[in-house]
Structure 1
Amino acid sequence: MKLYTPLVENMKLQVRMNLKAKCVELRNSEETADSGAVQKGADFIKAYALGFEIQDAIALLRLDDLYLDSFETKDIKTLHGDNLSRAIGRIVGKEGKTKFTIENTSRTRIVVADTKIHIMGSFQNIKIARDALISLIMGASPGKVYSKLRTISSRMKERF
């Protein structure tokens, strides 16, 4: 119901689950006002399927400048075995501290699913978070990444 309600009642879309093809089908109805409602609905369902929380995915329906970006750790650097698990450990940090710090300073949401990393946010904020994640994958210490994020966040505060 948490997936169904925003799509049908707020966006006025028609939704059905095709069990044979194992996909969710969306289409406009007569009451649909927004021309990009189907695309927003598809992004909403994709975000939920990638692992974002339902409240974060609902933000895709409400705001126009939110995007999803996905990449794999092997796109940045080819890692295997213990080296790969250490890189993912650097990204997540102790009890998720590093991931939450990157999310809060860059105003994004991050999902780490095995070797795939998914980021939701505005275009500029995704770039900030992605640069921080890439430096962690390449082997930078979390302290060095924190200091870079601190300078970037202070610049962002000056701009607004």
Structure 2
Amino acid sequence: MQKIIFLDIDGVLNSNFWNENHQRELSDGTLIDEDKVYLLSQIITRTKASIVLHSGWRFWFDKNIQPLRKESQRLVEILKRNHIFISDITPDFSTEEIRMAKKFSLVKANEILAWLHEHPEVEKWIVIDDLCLHNDKIEKHQLKTNQILGLTQGDVALAIDMLH
């Protein structure tokens, strides 16, 4: 049975607690909370789920999921230390207007659904994101993190339940 975690980064693997104290690092994409990555690894270890990146960070990877920037390279290194690998990325349905306004939440649901349509072998899936994705089907599968806290131990337990 194939299980997928559609992963967002900001508000999941970092948080507003980190944002307030490390604004420069967050804005240039270098801040990932390694404790949050460890929590994510607990979900993957227990469920054997694969990661599909649906975060805006996916634009920092090429079509072969190789890092294009130092920020994405650092993310890959931190994930790898925790035995986590990005298996795929969602398609990009954003427009110039969406990119300029940073309103990616308006298209994320359709990107996820399109990815799922292309992968009918997926039987269980969840979306880990701090934003509302404006779609009832996605909402039923979403673990919505608190952007002030990022991923928590309680979220880990819920994600494991959702994938079992």
TM-score normalised to the size of structure 2? Answer: 0.29
Q: Which has the higher contact order (CA 8 A, sep 6+)?
A: 2
Bigger share in helix: 1
Structure of greater Rg = 1
